[in-house]
Structure 1
Amino acid sequence: MSGEDEDLRPFHQSLPMQLMTAREEVMLRFRPHLHAHGLTDQQWRIIRALMEVESCEILDLSDVCGIHPASLSRILPKLDAAGIINRRPNKADQRRVIVTIAPKGRALFNQIAPESERLYRSITSDIGQDLMREAYDVLDRMIHALRSKRTASGDTAAE
Protein backbone atom coordinates (compact mmCIF):
# COMPACT_ATOMS: atom_id res chain seq x y z
CA MET A 1 0.00 0.00 0.00
CA SER A 2 1.13 3.52 -0.62
CA GLY A 3 1.70 5.90 2.29
CA GLU A 4 -1.67 7.59 1.97
CA ASP A 5 -3.56 4.25 1.89
CA GLU A 6 -2.12 2.95 5.18
CA ASP A 7 -5.07 4.19 7.26
CA LEU A 8 -7.66 2.75 4.90
CA ARG A 9 -9.55 -0.09 6.54
CA PRO A 10 -9.67 -3.47 4.78
CA PHE A 11 -12.32 -3.59 2.05
CA HIS A 12 -14.36 -6.31 3.78
CA GLN A 13 -14.57 -4.10 6.88
CA SER A 14 -15.87 -1.04 5.09
CA LEU A 15 -19.31 -0.06 6.33
CA PRO A 16 -20.94 -0.12 2.86
CA MET A 17 -19.60 -3.63 2.23
CA GLN A 18 -20.67 -4.88 5.67
CA LEU A 19 -24.18 -3.51 5.12
CA MET A 20 -24.38 -4.91 1.58
CA THR A 21 -23.15 -8.32 2.72
CA ALA A 22 -25.67 -8.45 5.58
CA ARG A 23 -28.45 -7.38 3.19
CA GLU A 24 -27.46 -10.04 0.69
CA GLU A 25 -27.44 -12.75 3.39
CA VAL A 26 -30.97 -11.75 4.37
CA MET A 27 -32.17 -11.51 0.76
CA LEU A 28 -30.80 -14.97 -0.02
CA ARG A 29 -33.54 -16.20 2.31
CA PHE A 30 -36.31 -14.11 0.72
CA ARG A 31 -35.40 -14.11 -2.97
CA PRO A 32 -36.46 -17.70 -3.83
CA HIS A 33 -39.85 -17.04 -2.24
CA LEU A 34 -40.29 -13.79 -4.18
CA HIS A 35 -39.09 -15.33 -7.45
CA ALA A 36 -41.56 -18.20 -7.01
CA HIS A 37 -44.26 -15.51 -7.22
CA GLY A 38 -42.62 -13.82 -10.21
CA LEU A 39 -41.38 -10.83 -8.23
CA THR A 40 -38.04 -9.08 -7.93
CA ASP A 41 -36.75 -7.59 -4.67
CA GLN A 42 -37.67 -4.11 -5.89
CA GLN A 43 -41.20 -5.09 -6.96
CA TRP A 44 -41.83 -6.62 -3.54
CA ARG A 45 -40.57 -3.47 -1.79
CA ILE A 46 -43.04 -1.42 -3.82
CA ILE A 47 -45.96 -3.74 -3.02
CA ARG A 48 -44.94 -3.89 0.64
CA ALA A 49 -44.69 -0.09 0.93
CA LEU A 50 -48.01 0.53 -0.84
CA MET A 51 -49.81 -1.85 1.52
CA GLU A 52 -49.13 0.60 4.35
CA VAL A 53 -50.51 3.75 2.68
CA GLU A 54 -53.66 4.71 0.84
CA SER A 55 -51.65 6.23 -2.01
CA CYS A 56 -48.18 7.58 -2.65
CA GLU A 57 -46.51 9.95 -5.11
CA ILE A 58 -43.66 8.44 -7.11
CA LEU A 59 -40.91 10.52 -5.48
CA ASP A 60 -42.13 9.58 -2.00
CA LEU A 61 -42.37 5.93 -3.04
CA SER A 62 -38.82 6.14 -4.40
CA ASP A 63 -37.58 7.44 -1.04
CA VAL A 64 -39.48 4.91 1.05
CA CYS A 65 -38.41 1.94 -1.12
CA GLY A 66 -34.81 3.04 -1.67
CA ILE A 67 -35.26 2.79 -5.43
CA HIS A 68 -33.93 5.54 -7.71
CA PRO A 69 -36.80 7.42 -9.43
CA ALA A 70 -35.50 6.44 -12.89
CA SER A 71 -35.52 2.76 -11.93
CA LEU A 72 -38.92 3.12 -10.33
CA SER A 73 -40.29 4.65 -13.54
CA ARG A 74 -39.24 1.47 -15.39
CA ILE A 75 -40.69 -0.90 -12.77
CA LEU A 76 -44.09 0.74 -12.20
CA PRO A 77 -45.46 0.27 -15.75
CA LYS A 78 -44.83 -3.49 -15.48
CA LEU A 79 -46.65 -3.68 -12.15
CA ASP A 80 -49.45 -1.55 -13.56
CA ALA A 81 -49.77 -3.75 -16.67
CA ALA A 82 -49.90 -6.82 -14.40
CA GLY A 83 -52.77 -5.23 -12.45
CA ILE A 84 -50.75 -5.12 -9.20
CA ILE A 85 -50.74 -1.33 -8.84
CA ASN A 86 -52.67 1.60 -10.26
CA ARG A 87 -51.18 4.89 -11.43
CA ARG A 88 -53.05 8.14 -11.92
CA PRO A 89 -52.11 11.78 -12.33
CA ASN A 90 -52.23 14.01 -9.26
CA LYS A 91 -55.32 16.22 -9.68
CA ALA A 92 -53.46 19.25 -8.29
CA ASP A 93 -50.40 18.77 -10.51
CA GLN A 94 -50.80 16.65 -13.64
CA ARG A 95 -47.02 16.17 -13.89
CA ARG A 96 -47.03 14.16 -10.66
CA VAL A 97 -48.23 10.56 -10.48
CA ILE A 98 -50.07 8.89 -7.61
CA VAL A 99 -49.57 5.16 -7.10
CA THR A 100 -51.92 2.82 -5.22
CA ILE A 101 -52.01 -0.91 -4.65
CA ALA A 102 -54.64 -2.64 -6.79
CA PRO A 103 -56.90 -5.45 -5.54
CA LYS A 104 -54.71 -7.98 -7.37
CA GLY A 105 -51.68 -6.51 -5.58
CA ARG A 106 -53.42 -6.84 -2.21
CA ALA A 107 -54.24 -10.47 -2.96
CA LEU A 108 -50.63 -11.13 -3.99
CA PHE A 109 -49.38 -9.48 -0.81
CA ASN A 110 -51.76 -11.58 1.30
CA GLN A 111 -50.49 -14.70 -0.45
CA ILE A 112 -46.80 -13.84 0.08
CA ALA A 113 -46.86 -12.22 3.55
CA PRO A 114 -47.33 -15.39 5.66
CA GLU A 115 -44.22 -17.02 4.17
CA SER A 116 -42.28 -13.76 4.55
CA GLU A 117 -43.19 -13.73 8.25
CA ARG A 118 -42.05 -17.35 8.53
CA LEU A 119 -38.72 -16.33 6.98
CA TYR A 120 -38.38 -13.47 9.49
CA ARG A 121 -39.02 -15.93 12.32
CA SER A 122 -36.39 -18.27 10.86
CA ILE A 123 -33.81 -15.48 10.68
CA THR A 124 -34.65 -14.43 14.23
CA SER A 125 -34.25 -18.01 15.35
CA ASP A 126 -30.88 -18.27 13.60
CA ILE A 127 -29.41 -15.05 15.01
CA GLY A 128 -31.41 -14.77 18.22
CA GLN A 129 -34.15 -12.36 19.24
CA ASP A 130 -31.72 -10.10 21.12
CA LEU A 131 -29.44 -9.67 18.11
CA MET A 132 -32.44 -9.05 15.83
CA ARG A 133 -33.72 -6.32 18.18
CA GLU A 134 -30.22 -4.88 18.50
CA ALA A 135 -29.77 -4.85 14.71
CA TYR A 136 -33.03 -2.93 14.22
CA ASP A 137 -32.08 -0.50 16.97
CA VAL A 138 -28.56 0.15 15.70
CA LEU A 139 -29.71 0.56 12.10
CA ASP A 140 -32.56 2.90 13.10
CA ARG A 141 -30.17 5.05 15.15
CA MET A 142 -27.58 5.08 12.35
CA ILE A 143 -30.14 6.09 9.73
CA HIS A 144 -31.53 8.82 11.96
CA ALA A 145 -28.09 10.21 12.85
CA LEU A 146 -26.79 10.21 9.28
CA ARG A 147 -30.03 11.63 7.86
CA SER A 148 -30.07 14.36 10.53
CA LYS A 149 -26.49 15.38 9.72
CA ARG A 150 -27.19 15.35 5.97
CA THR A 151 -30.35 17.42 6.20
CA ALA A 152 -28.78 19.82 8.73
CA SER A 153 -25.94 20.46 6.29
CA GLY A 154 -28.39 21.05 3.45
CA ASP A 155 -27.10 18.05 1.47
CA THR A 156 -30.20 16.67 -0.22
CA ALA A 157 -28.39 15.02 -3.13
CA ALA A 158 -29.30 11.58 -1.81
CA GLU A 159 -32.99 12.46 -1.54
Structure 2
Amino acid sequence: MMERFRPLLTANGLTEQQWRVIRALNENGPMEPRQISDICTISSPSMAGVLARMEAMELITKERFADDQRRILVSLTKKSIGLVRVISKDLEARYRELERVVGPEVVERVYSAIDDLLAGLE
Protein backbone atom coordinates (compact mmCIF):
# COMPACT_ATOMS: atom_id res chain seq x y z
CA MET A 1 0.00 0.00 0.00
CA MET A 2 2.75 2.43 0.89
CA GLU A 3 4.09 2.17 -2.66
CA ARG A 4 1.02 4.14 -3.72
CA PHE A 5 1.54 6.84 -1.09
CA ARG A 6 5.29 7.02 -0.40
CA PRO A 7 6.08 9.03 -3.58
CA LEU A 8 3.68 11.75 -2.43
CA LEU A 9 5.47 12.02 0.91
CA THR A 10 8.90 11.92 -0.71
CA ALA A 11 7.91 14.63 -3.19
CA ASN A 12 7.08 16.83 -0.20
CA GLY A 13 10.40 16.07 1.52
CA LEU A 14 8.93 13.81 4.22
CA THR A 15 9.58 10.32 5.48
CA GLU A 16 6.74 8.02 6.53
CA GLN A 17 7.69 8.51 10.18
CA GLN A 18 7.66 12.29 9.83
CA TRP A 19 4.23 12.17 8.19
CA ARG A 20 2.90 9.96 11.00
CA VAL A 21 4.15 12.51 13.56
CA ILE A 22 2.59 15.40 11.63
CA ARG A 23 -0.72 13.55 11.32
CA ALA A 24 -0.75 12.68 15.02
CA LEU A 25 -0.08 16.26 16.06
CA ASN A 26 -2.61 17.59 13.57
CA GLU A 27 -5.32 15.24 14.87
CA ASN A 28 -4.51 15.48 18.60
CA GLY A 29 -2.85 18.85 19.10
CA PRO A 30 0.45 19.45 20.91
CA MET A 31 1.81 16.42 22.78
CA GLU A 32 4.82 15.15 24.63
CA PRO A 33 7.29 12.94 22.72
CA ARG A 34 6.24 9.85 24.69
CA GLN A 35 2.62 10.35 23.64
CA ILE A 36 3.64 10.80 20.02
CA SER A 37 5.74 7.61 20.21
CA ASP A 38 2.75 5.67 21.48
CA ILE A 39 0.36 6.95 18.82
CA CYS A 40 2.84 6.58 15.95
CA THR A 41 4.34 3.29 17.17
CA ILE A 42 7.85 4.71 16.93
CA SER A 43 10.31 3.77 19.66
CA SER A 44 11.42 6.55 22.02
CA PRO A 45 15.07 6.45 20.87
CA SER A 46 13.97 6.70 17.22
CA MET A 47 11.46 9.41 18.07
CA ALA A 48 14.21 11.60 19.52
CA GLY A 49 16.02 11.54 16.17
CA VAL A 50 12.84 12.03 14.14
CA LEU A 51 11.84 15.05 16.23
CA ALA A 52 15.35 16.55 16.06
CA ARG A 53 15.33 16.34 12.27
CA MET A 54 11.80 17.71 12.10
CA GLU A 55 12.76 20.64 14.31
CA ALA A 56 15.76 21.37 12.06
CA MET A 57 13.38 21.30 9.05
CA GLU A 58 11.08 23.74 10.90
CA LEU A 59 8.22 21.23 10.87
CA ILE A 60 7.75 21.23 14.65
CA THR A 61 8.57 23.34 17.66
CA LYS A 62 9.54 22.09 21.09
CA GLU A 63 8.68 23.97 24.24
CA ARG A 64 9.60 23.08 27.81
CA PHE A 65 6.87 23.02 30.44
CA ALA A 66 7.15 25.99 32.81
CA ASP A 67 6.52 23.83 35.89
CA ASP A 68 8.79 20.93 34.84
CA GLN A 69 11.76 21.72 32.61
CA ARG A 70 12.30 17.99 31.94
CA ARG A 71 9.04 17.78 29.99
CA ILE A 72 8.70 18.95 26.38
CA LEU A 73 5.59 19.84 24.39
CA VAL A 74 5.82 19.31 20.64
CA SER A 75 3.68 21.40 18.27
CA LEU A 76 3.27 21.78 14.53
CA THR A 77 4.57 24.85 12.74
CA LYS A 78 2.70 26.80 10.07
CA LYS A 79 4.88 25.01 7.53
CA SER A 80 3.62 21.61 8.72
CA ILE A 81 0.01 22.76 8.79
CA GLY A 82 0.42 23.85 5.17
CA LEU A 83 1.84 20.44 4.29
CA VAL A 84 -1.16 18.75 5.92
CA ARG A 85 -3.49 20.73 3.67
CA VAL A 86 -1.57 19.94 0.50
CA ILE A 87 -0.79 16.30 1.20
CA SER A 88 -4.23 15.46 2.60
CA LYS A 89 -5.90 16.54 -0.65
CA ASP A 90 -3.56 14.35 -2.68
CA LEU A 91 -3.94 11.41 -0.28
CA GLU A 92 -7.72 11.62 -0.47
CA ALA A 93 -7.52 11.56 -4.26
CA ARG A 94 -5.34 8.44 -4.11
CA TYR A 95 -7.75 6.74 -1.71
CA ARG A 96 -10.65 7.54 -4.06
CA GLU A 97 -8.66 6.06 -6.94
CA LEU A 98 -7.97 2.95 -4.88
CA GLU A 99 -11.69 2.59 -4.17
CA ARG A 100 -12.44 3.06 -7.86
CA VAL A 101 -9.99 0.31 -8.83
CA VAL A 102 -10.83 -2.34 -6.21
CA GLY A 103 -14.25 -1.17 -5.10
CA PRO A 104 -15.36 0.51 -1.88
CA GLU A 105 -16.53 -2.82 -0.43
CA VAL A 106 -13.01 -4.26 -0.58
CA VAL A 107 -11.53 -1.16 1.02
CA GLU A 108 -14.17 -1.27 3.77
CA ARG A 109 -13.41 -4.96 4.45
CA VAL A 110 -9.70 -4.17 4.75
CA TYR A 111 -10.38 -1.33 7.21
CA SER A 112 -12.69 -3.60 9.20
CA ALA A 113 -10.08 -6.37 9.31
CA ILE A 114 -7.42 -3.91 10.50
CA ASP A 115 -9.78 -2.60 13.20
CA ASP A 116 -10.44 -6.20 14.31
CA LEU A 117 -6.72 -6.92 14.38
CA LEU A 118 -5.96 -3.85 16.47
CA ALA A 119 -8.84 -4.60 18.86
CA GLY A 120 -7.53 -8.13 19.29
CA LEU A 121 -4.07 -6.84 20.18
CA GLU A 122 -5.33 -4.54 22.95
TM-score (norm 1): 0.72
The one-letter code matched in structure 2 to 1:36 is A
Shift of 1:63: 1.1
The one-letter code matched in structure 2 to 1:44 is W
Q: How does 1:8-87 map to 2 (within 5 A)?
A: 26-87=1-62
Q: Give the Cα separation in 1 of the matches to 2:6 and 2:90.
A: 12
Shift of 1:91: 3.2
What is the DSSP-based 3-state SS (H/G/I as helix, E as strand, rest coil) of the residue aligned with 1:46? helix
Question: Structure 1 segments of 4 or more deviating over 4 A?
Answer: none
The one-letter code matched in structure 2 to 1:31 is R
Consecutive unaligned residues in structure 1, runs of 5 or more:
1-25, 148-159
Mapped pair 1:100 → 2:75:
yes
Shift of 1:29: 0.5
Give deviations 1:49-86, integer Å, cap 9, x for gaps.
11112211111101111111111100111111221111
Give deviations 1:12-71, integer Å, cap 9, x for gaps.
xxxxxxxxxxxxxx1000111111111111111111111112211111101111111111
Consecutive unaligned residues in structure 2, runs of 5 or more:
none
Give deviations 1:97-142, integer Å, cap 9, x for gaps.
2111111110111121111111111222222211111111121122
* Aligned residues with identical type, % of pairs: 35
Q: Give the Cα separation in 2 of the matches to 1:123 and 1:96.
A: 42
